[in-house]
């Protein structure tokens, strides 16, 4: 059996949580492979709206195994809160949530460092979620981080103290106030005790053995390809490999074992935090998109920047991920527009037209070149099949498919599980 991967093709918040929840009944295992509590994945069903940060989005489906893989940076405090928040759903965590012993632990000083680094950048700040992601991945790559398996060892406290001592030196260099640290540490060690009760596993063996025994595994991405540490709009990116290859390293699954790569995109674009966004709208259309799409961050509540769909960016994401199927999300949000714009190229300052996200492109302002199409300008609330969609929406889908060269197999027309049209 091969492992399928589902990931975001834009700047995150494409609707990954919703789609994982929709697809989950077809799978035995859902596994997160990177990121951490910077993610906010929203699920809606039976009148319930729930945001998950670190727990995979298969958790509401019975008999499904959810794995937090080695590539994740995990905050024990957030995990404890997430688990407690799910108590009312009678989920038996001992049976269906598993955590890799090789996942990296976010400690309180990582969050302080995140804040110190952002403050020092002034108006060049990344717009980090301040969950400690960057500093934790830095320590992982720097080979000094704490891993989940370490909490079981007798000298965890000593290892922790050694790392905190290093962090304190840096925090003092930045003259950063650490007076809240003792309080944060009390909560942290309380969460560590709770953590010991979870299933801590060598997830690379578990996932590969599942695949060998014919079980179906879905890898759930966090963030989006344009926030990838290598291929995103560096330095305005997150600190992990958000692309398909990240699922191999983040779960210990060989590239030869990858099956479908589902690429999720919004019918338009959004971005939270700083960094280039060629099609960003600063006018009434952008405001209308934000309002209609309820575009406010699931993790931080920040308003999301909004703009028209960007085809060069999508083509780039499809290329680096080897996307085999596209899912278009939030089609209903465009109901309000009589005309819809599609960015097909960028124009540089010297008038040259380009459609590639080269290194140089990241360094300059570009003007998006649009094709304008007629909107459907009607509610999609009653559509239950693709055939029932208004002609203009079908044409929008056909146009994108022709431009992107990959079939759009799903169109989402609302946040609920049921508002999902398969083709």
Shortest distance in whole angstroms from residue 41 CB to Mg ion: 6
Among positions 13, 14, 28, 82, the unique one binding Mg ion when judged by CB under 5 A: 13
Partner in contact with 329, chosen from Mg ion, ligand IMO, ligand GDP, none, beta carbon below 5 to 8 Å by kind: ligand GDP
- Compose the 279-298 pattern: x for residues touching ligand GDP by CB under 6 A, - for all others: --------------x----x
Shortest distance in whole angstroms from residue 156 CB to ligand GDP: 32
Shortest distance in whole angstroms from residue 258 CB to ligand GDP: 20
Mapped onto helix, strand or coil, the DSSP state of residue 164 is helix
| Footprint on this chain of ligand IMO (rule: CB under 6 A) | 8, 11-13, 35, 38-41, 126-129, 131, 133-134, 222-224, 227, 238, 272-273, 298
Beta strand spans in 191-338 (E): 199-201, 217-220, 258-266, 269-271, 305-307, 309-310, 325-329
Partner in contact with 75, chosen from Mg ion, ligand GDP, ligand IMO, none, beta carbon below 5 to 8 Å by kind: none
C-alpha to C-alpha distance for 106 and 88, rounded to whole angstroms: 27
Active site residues: 13, 41
Q: Per CB under 6 A, which region of 6-14, 131-139, 225-233, 349-357 contacts ligand GDP?
A: 6-14
Decide: 270 and 13 in contact? Cβ < 8 Å: yes
Q: Quick one: 252 or 293, whose CB is closer to ligand GDP? A: 293
- Compose the 324-343 pattern: x for residues touching ligand GDP by CB under 6 A, - for all others: -----xx-xx----------
* DSSP code of residue 302: P
Among positions 113, 229, 413, 421, the unique one binding ligand GDP when judged by CB under 6 A: 413
The residue whose Cβ lies closest to ligand IMO is 273
Assigned token pair, 333: 């949000």
Place of tokens 């060998």: 212
Partner in contact with 273, chosen from ligand GDP, ligand IMO, Mg ion, none, beta carbon below 5 to 8 Å by kind: ligand IMO
Q: How many helices (H) and strands (E) does the chain have?
A: 12, 20
Q: Quick one: 10 or 96, whose CB is closer to Mg ion? A: 10
Sheet with 408-412, edge to edge strand ranges:
199-201, 97-100, 65-68, 29-32, 217-220, 3-8, 258-266, 325-329, 408-412, 420-422
Q: With binding defined as CB under 6 A, does residue 109 bind ligand GDP?
A: no
Shortest distance in whole angstroms from residue 107 CB to ligand IMO: 16
Assigned token pair, 318: 């499809």
Q: Looking only at residues 14 through 53 of this chain, which bind Mg ion when binding is defined by CB under 5 A? A: 40
Assigned token pair, 375: 């909107």
Which residues, 6 or more positions from 319, have their beta carbon under 8 angstroms from its beta carbon? none
DSSP for 316-373? HHHHHHT--EEEEE-GGGGGG-SEEEEEEEEE-TTS-EE-S--TGGGGS--EEEEEEE
What are the Cα distances from residue 104, in Å, to 38, 133, 137, 175, 262? 14, 10, 8, 27, 26
Q: With binding defined as CB under 6 A, does residue 40 bind ligand GDP?
A: yes
* 38 CA to centre of own chain: 8
Partner in contact with 323, chosen from ligand GDP, Mg ion, ligand IMO, none, beta carbon below 5 to 8 Å by kind: none
Q: With binding defined as CB under 6 A, does residue 306 bind ligand GDP?
A: no
Mapped onto helix, strand or coil, the DSSP state of residue 29 is strand
The residues binding ligand GDP (CB under 6 A) are 8, 12-18, 40-42, 44, 293, 298, 329-330, 332-333, 412-415
The residues binding Mg ion (CB under 5 A) are 13, 40, 298
């Amino acid at each position: 059996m091969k492992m399928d991967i589902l990931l975001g093709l834009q700047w995150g918040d494409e609707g990954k949580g919703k789609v994982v929840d929709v697809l989950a009944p077809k799978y035995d295992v859902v596994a997160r492979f990177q990121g951490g509590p910077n993610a906010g994945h929203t699920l809606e069903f039976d009148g319930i709206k729930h945001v998950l940060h670190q727990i995979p989005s298969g958790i509401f489906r019975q008999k499904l195994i959810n794995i937090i893989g080695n590539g994740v940076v995990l905050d024990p405090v957030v995990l404890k809160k997430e688990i407690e928040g799910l108590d009312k759903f009678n989920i038996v965590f001992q049976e269906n949530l598993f955590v890799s012993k090789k996942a990296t632990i976010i400690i309180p000083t990582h969050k302080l460092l995140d804040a110190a680094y952002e403050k020092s950048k002034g108006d060049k700040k990344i717009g980090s979620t301040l969950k400690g992601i960057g500093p934790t991945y830095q320590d992982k790559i720097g080979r000094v981080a704490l891993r989940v398996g370490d909490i079981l060892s007798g000298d965890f406290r000593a290892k922790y103290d050694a790392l905190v001592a290093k962090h304190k030196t840096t925090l003092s260099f930045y003259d950063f106030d650490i007076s809240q640290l003792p309080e944060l540490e009390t909560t942290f060690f309380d969460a560590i005790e709770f953590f010991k009760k979870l299933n801590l596993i060598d997830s690379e063996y578990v996932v590969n053995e599942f695949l060998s025994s014919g079980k179906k595994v879905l890898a759930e991405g966090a963030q989006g390809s344009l926030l990838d540490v290598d291929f995103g709009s560096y330095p305005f990116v997150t600190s992990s490999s958000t692309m398909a290859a990240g699922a191999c390293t983040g779960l210990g699954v060989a590239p030869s074992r990858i099956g479908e790569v589902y690429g999720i995109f919004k019918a338009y674009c959004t971005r939270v935090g700083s960094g280039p966004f060629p099609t960003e709208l600063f006018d009434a259309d952008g405001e209308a998109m934000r309002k209609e799409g309820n575009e406010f961050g699931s993790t931080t509540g920040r308003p999301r920047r909004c703009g028209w769909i960007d085809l060069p960016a999508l083509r780039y994401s499809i290329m680096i991920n080897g996307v085999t199927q596209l899912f278009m999300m939030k089609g209903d949000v465009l109901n309000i527009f009589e005309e819809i714009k599609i960015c097909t190229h960028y124009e540089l300052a010297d008038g040259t037209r380009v459609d590639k996200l080269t290194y140089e492109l990241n360094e300059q302002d570009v003007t998006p070149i649009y094709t304008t199409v007629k909107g459907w300008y009607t509610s999609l609330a009653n559509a239950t099949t693709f055939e029932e969609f208004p002609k203009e929406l079908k044409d929008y889908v056909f146009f994108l498919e022709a431009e992107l060269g990959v079939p759009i197999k799903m169109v989402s027309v609302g946040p609920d599980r049921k508002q999902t049209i398969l083709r």
